[in-house]
């Protein structure tokens, strides 16, 4: 493949790729995502390859191993185009029938399509399934249409056109202005306006500047960035290159986890392909702009995702947050201006540049724009990744997309933001998905991980769980965080074992207050957030544990044994 | 270096740009307690005992004096109810490790910290990092370092380096606010059982 040297050549190449493709040609898009690897999507893919060879259909049928389709609960999923027939929980044994009946015979196999658990109604096409029907899949919609290992698939759907537009039709300041007007807010948890951050990094003195993708998704229950980045790596990369151009950076980093082999492979392939096509490296698209990207792996600790710890890790040091009082966008990696954004934030950039801030601003709420990826897990019928417009009521996410609570149980609470977030009770689920609304309720949108809990969940145990997680995942450098976690965890463990004492709640609040004020980094200052939210909404559960030695959810075993289970 | 003035505890204090609040306070004779600070070492910000309240553009926040840079017209308060409450808790959390450390006892008296508020912990180490940083920054030997993370973080001597360097040095011992009990213990352990891998695996 020869390098692409101009915007016109890019468009020509796209047309050329599309013209060589036959939209009517049957294609099986199988989710090759990591969540479906357990149920055996690799065997399903092999079965399709074998069956198609057996029936000598190689020239007539395309097999596409794609990224995550989102509906993890029902994986492995195979979608047969052009009819968009969506088969769920496909096994290798189903494959011969799918090939002869659906691909060759154009008939739908009833037993493999979605059946509504309440009405028994069938839905054969992906877009008819309630899980997908009302989503707004701006970032993830193409995941079924592209092979993440193929840059041509991405180019065919208009990939890198936004980059060409930014490089040839816009000045860096105009790009920043567009991102500011779109009010794109950071998807990693903070919700900080990306445009302002970019501006700070652009204005910061110094020739050498860096842009970084934070792909260190470490919160328990967060798996949307992995799904997005693994399924469509070029989308994130395109956003990053546009950001680099806007900020004036020529060196970028992708910081991700060492334990995501599939993601790492897809990133490596995407980088190599982008370079080969002249979309990365020297003189990108013939514009004169140079930009290179390196991948850095973490050492497997949650605090690595904290911005300054992440940057120290890239420098080759231990991933401890940096104690300096200066923003990383002014002085980050090697004390140079470093702009860090999360995977999903970067992925939003190309569409804002292509379709404009006006279009983007029309989606979402007053102060939270665009769509948000949510990874749904816990006590929910449909575990998976959904993409919905900001402002969607939480009730709709839980009952509409999520399909409600399994086993006839009642919803008790929803937790956002992992160990740095908070839980809200069932009574508040008519609230909209919105950065500021959730913050006011004492939680945080976080990275979009939504943990649904039913009536059997003990909220004291929930708070204890997150501190237990942090006890091994903070860096342990500063006293309020390290010792605060140690003591709060001890107190909470005692409470769940029926050894709670009068005054424990006050002591917890006192330690939490000091950690919140005096800890070194944002992680340390947030360690008590899950606990605070539980004390705010479920204080009576704490008191039942301490005073009555009773676990209202009948979950704490040692309390159940001592008579706490008598109501059951 | 240009001179600026800021306010510490209601007093006008002159300082040079680039100084920290702790340095400016010290120059003016205002004492701020520290545990992990050492003049020969880079500021660390680990113990948070030097937390002070600063007011900037009408907003107050809690910052570590050993790291916070002075600014013109910055208003610093080194003893407020909030500051004292934070220091008292930090001391109580540390006294669970080293209840008999003199430095902690003196400070506990000043801030009304209860040495028995928390159950005693098995390790004496306060994680001030003075030994680790002195060995790295001043001696440039890196014979001792931190291993593990979170609540499992500990100091550990590297047997291969320690067996060559530490016998005749031990300059880190007097720096230790806990009378070097933990350091002596882990040094002995490193020399008697020189297996760094088993240490790392914890």
Asked if the Cβ–Cβ distance from B46 to A486 is below 8 Å, we say no
Domain A459-564: top CATH class:
mainly alpha
Residue A506 has what pLDDT?
A: 96
Residue A325 has what pLDDT?
A: 87
Asked if the Cβ–Cβ distance from B149 to A511 is below 8 Å, we say no
Asked if the Cβ–Cβ distance from A487 to B121 is below 8 Å, we say no
Tally of structural domains, chain B: 2
- Residue A371, pLDDT > 90, answer yes
Which CATH number is B156's domain given? 3.30.70
Selected residue with higher pLDDT from B201 and A23: A23
Cβ–Cβ under 8 Å, residues A262 and A103: no
Q: Which of A345, A373, A374 is nearest to A239 (CA)?
A: A345
Q: Which domain holds residue B60?
A: 3-79
Q: Which chain B residues have a beta carbon less than 8 Å from that of A489? A: 151
Q: Where do runs of H (alpha helix) occur along chain B?
A: 21-27, 81-95, 102-111, 130-133, 159-165, 181-192, 196-201
Residue B187 has what pLDDT?
A: 78
On whether residue B104 sits in a domain, the answer given is: no
Residue A53 has what pLDDT?
A: 95
Cβ–Cβ under 8 Å, residues A174 and A23: no
Token digits of residue A331: 């002085």
pLDDT band at A565 (very low <50, low <70, confident <90, very high): very low
Mean predicted confidence (pLDDT) in A277-293: 97
Cβ–Cβ under 8 Å, residues B47 and B38: no
Token digits of residue A188: 């990693």
pLDDT band at B179 (very low <50, low <70, confident <90, very high): confident
- Residue A568, pLDDT > 50, answer no
Q: What is the pLDDT of residues A479-492, one digit of tens each?
A: 999 999 999 999 99
Q: What is the pLDDT of residues A229-244, one digit of tens each?
A: 999 999 999 999 999 9
Q: Which of A453, A432, A209 is nearest to A334 (CA)?
A: A209
**Min CA distance, A179 vs chain B (Å)?**
28
B17/A contact by beta carbon, under 8 A: no
Q: Do the first three CATH levels of A24-144 and A160-357 match, i.e. the same topology?
A: no
Q: Which chain A residues have a beta carbon less than 8 Å from that of B146? A: 318, 476
- Strand, helix or coil for residue B5: strand
Domain boundaries of chain A, sorted by first residue: 24-144, 160-357, 371-454, 459-564
**B43: closest chain A residue by CA:** A323
A485/B contact by beta carbon, under 8 A: yes
| Rounded-to-integer distance, Cα B1 and Cα A556, Å | 62
On whether residue B32 sits in a domain, the answer given is: yes
- Residue A189, pLDDT > 70, answer yes
Residue A1 has what pLDDT?
A: 67
Which residue from A487, A489, A520 is facing B93, i.e. has the nearest CB? A487
Who's near A450: CB < 8 A, 6+ residues apart?
Answer: A221, A374, A375, A376, A377, A378, A394, A397, A414, A415, A416
Asked if the Cβ–Cβ distance from A324 to B67 is below 8 Å, we say yes
Residue positions counted in chain A: 568
On whether residue B112 sits in a domain, the answer given is: no
Residue B100 has what pLDDT?
A: 86
Q: What is the pLDDT of residues B7-56, one digit of tens each?
A: 999 999 999 999 999 999 999 999 999 999 999 999 999 999 999 999 98
Whole-Å CA distances, A41 to A27, A33, A65, A376: 16, 8, 9, 21
On whether residue B95 sits in a domain, the answer given is: no
Domain A371-454 has CATH 3.40.50.300: no
Which residue in A483, A489, A504 has the most chain B C-beta atoms within 10 A of its own C-beta, making it the best mutation to test that interface? A483
Mean predicted confidence (pLDDT) in A30-54: 93
- pLDDT above 90: percentage of residues in chain A: 89
- pLDDT above 70: percentage of residues in chain B: 95
> What was the ipTM of the complex prediction?
0.92
Q: Which chain A residues have a beta carbon less than 8 Å from that of B94? A: 479, 483
| Rounded-to-integer distance, Cα B128 and Cα B112, Å | 22
**A304: closest chain B residue by CA:** B149
pLDDT band at B196 (very low <50, low <70, confident <90, very high): low
Which residue in B43, B53, B99, B149 has the most chain A C-beta atoms within 10 A of its own C-beta, making it the best mutation to test that interface? B149
| Rounded-to-integer distance, Cα A395 and Cα A398, Å | 5
**A482: closest chain B residue by CA:** B151
pLDDT band at A564 (very low <50, low <70, confident <90, very high): very low
Asked if the Cβ–Cβ distance from A479 to B51 is below 8 Å, we say no
Domain spanning A160-357 has what CATH number? 3.40.50.11540
Mean predicted confidence (pLDDT) in A439-452: 93
Residue B58 has what pLDDT?
A: 83
The conformation of residue A211, written as its DSSP 8-state character, comes to E
Taking the CA of residue A15 as centre, how many other CA atoms within 13 Å lie in the half-sphere pointing to its CB?
Answer: 6
On whether residue B107 sits in a domain, the answer given is: no
Cβ–Cβ under 8 Å, residues A393 and A430: yes
B147/A contact by beta carbon, under 8 A: no
Question: What's the angle, vertex CA A164, arms to CA A163 and CA A170, rounded to 5?
Answer: 85
Who's near A58: CB < 8 A, 6+ residues apart?
Answer: A52
Cβ–Cβ under 8 Å, residues A9 and A18: no
Q: What is the pLDDT of residues A102-159, one digit of tens each?
A: 999 999 999 999 999 889 999 999 999 999 999 999 999 999 999 999 999 999 999 9
Residue B41 has what pLDDT?
A: 96
Asked if the Cβ–Cβ distance from B89 to A325 is below 8 Å, we say no
Which CATH number is B45's domain given? 3.10.20.740
- Residue A173, pLDDT > 90, answer yes
Residue position matching structure tokens 């990306």: A194
Homologous superfamily in CATH for domain A24-144: Glutaredoxin (3.40.30.10)
Q: Which of A271, A36, A261, A15 is nearest to A143 (CA)?
A: A36
- Residue B201, pLDDT > 70, answer no
- Residue A563, pLDDT > 60, answer no
Asked if the Cβ–Cβ distance from B44 to A303 is below 8 Å, we say no
């Amino acid at each position: 493949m020869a390098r692409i040297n101009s915007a016109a050549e890019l468009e020509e190449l796209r047309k050329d790729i599309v013209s060589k493709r036959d939209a009517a040609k049957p294609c099986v898009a199988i989710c090759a995502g990591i969540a479906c690897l357990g149920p055996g999507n690799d065997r399903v893919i092999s079965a399709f390859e074998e069956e198609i060879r057996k029936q000598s259909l190689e020239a007539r049928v395309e097999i596409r191993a794609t990224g995550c389709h989102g509906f993890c609960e029902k994986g492995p999923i195979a979608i047969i185009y052009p009819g968009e027939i969506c088969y769920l929980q496909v096994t290798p044994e189903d494959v011969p029938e799918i090939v002869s009946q659906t691909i060759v015979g154009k008939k739908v196999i009833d037993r493999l399509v979605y059946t509504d658990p309440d009405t028994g109604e069938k839905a054969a096409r992906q877009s008819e399934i309630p899980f997908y029907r009302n989503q707004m899949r701006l970032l993830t919609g193409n995941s079924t249409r592209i092979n993440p290992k193929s840059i041509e698939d991405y180019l065919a759907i208009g990939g890198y056109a936004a980059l060409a537009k930014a490089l040839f039709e816009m000045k860096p300041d105009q790009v920043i202005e567009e991102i500011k007007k779109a009010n794109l807010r950071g998807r990693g948890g903070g919700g900080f306006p990306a445009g302002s951050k970019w501006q700070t990094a652009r204005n910061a003195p110094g020739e050498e500047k860096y842009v970084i993708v934070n792909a260190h998704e470490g919160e328990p229950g967060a798996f949307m960035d992995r799904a997005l980045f693994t399924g469509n790596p070029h989308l994130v990369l395109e956003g990053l290159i546009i950001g680099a151009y806007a900020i004036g950076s020529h060196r970028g980093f992708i910081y991700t986890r060492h334990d995501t082999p599939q993601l790492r492979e897809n990133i490596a392939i995407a980088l190599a392909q982008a370079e080969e096509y002249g979309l990365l490296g020297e003189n990108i698209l013939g514009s004169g702009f140079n930009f290179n990207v390196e991948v850095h792996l973490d050492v497997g600790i949650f605090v690595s995702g904290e911005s300054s710890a992440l940057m120290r890790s890239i420098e080759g040091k231990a991933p401890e947050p940096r104690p300096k009082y200066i923003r990383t966008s002014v002085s980050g990696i090697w004390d140079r201006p470093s702009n860090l954004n999360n995977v999903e934030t970067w992925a939003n950039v190309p569409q804002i540049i292509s379709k404009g801030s006006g279009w983007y601003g029309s989606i979402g709420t007053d102060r939270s724009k665009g769509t948000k990826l949510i990874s749904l897990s816990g006590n929910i019928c449909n575990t998976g990744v959904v993409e919905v417009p900001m402002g969607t009521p939480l009730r709709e996410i839980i009952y509409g997309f999520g399909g409600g609570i399994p086993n006839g149980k009642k919803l008790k609470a929803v937790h956002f933001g992992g160990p740095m977030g908070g839980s809200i009770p069932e009574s508040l689920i008519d609230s909209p998905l919105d950065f500021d609304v959730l913050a006011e309720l004492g939680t945080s949108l976080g990275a979009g991980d939504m943990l649904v809990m039913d009536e059997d969940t003990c909220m004291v145990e929930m708070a204890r769980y997150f501190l237990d997680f942090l006890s091994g995942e903070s860096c342990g450098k500063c006293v309020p965080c390290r010792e605060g976690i140690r003591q709060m965890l001890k107190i909470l463990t005692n409470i769940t074992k029926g050894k709670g004492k009068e005054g424990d709640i006050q002591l917890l609040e006192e330690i939490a207050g000091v950690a919140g004020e005096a800890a070194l980094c944002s992680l340390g200052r947030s360690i008590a957030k899950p606990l605070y939210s539980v004390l705010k909404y479920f204080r009576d559960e704490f008191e039942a544990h301490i005073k009555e030695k009773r676990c209202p959810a009948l979950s704490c075993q040692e309390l159940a044994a001592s008579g706490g289970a008598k109501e059951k | 270096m240009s001179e600026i003035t800021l306010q510490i505890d209601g007093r006008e204090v002159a300082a040079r740009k680039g100084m920290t609040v702790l340095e400016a306070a010290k120059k003016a004779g205002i004492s701020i307690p520290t545990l992990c600070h050492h003049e020969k070492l880079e500021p660390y910000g680990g113990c948070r005992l030097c937390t002070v309240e600063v007011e900037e553009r009408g907003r107050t926040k809690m910052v570590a004096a050993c790291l916070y840079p002075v600014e013109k017209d910055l208003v610093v308060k080194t003893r407020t109810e909030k500051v004292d409450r934070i220091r008292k808790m930090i001391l109580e959390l540390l006294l669970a490790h080293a209840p008999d450390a003199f430095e902690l006892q003196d400070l506990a008296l000043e801030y009304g910290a209860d040495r028995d508020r928390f159950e005693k912990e098995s390790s004496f180490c306060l994680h001030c990092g003075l030994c680790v940083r002195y060995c790295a920054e001043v001696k440039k030997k890196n014979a001792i370092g931190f291993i593990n993370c979170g609540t499992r973080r500990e100091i550990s001597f590297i047997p291969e380096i320690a067996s060559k360097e530490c016998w005749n040095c031990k300059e880190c011992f007097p720096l230790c606010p806990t009378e070097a009990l933990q350091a002596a213990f882990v040094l002995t352990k490193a020399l008697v059982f020189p297996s760094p891998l088993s240490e790392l695996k914890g």
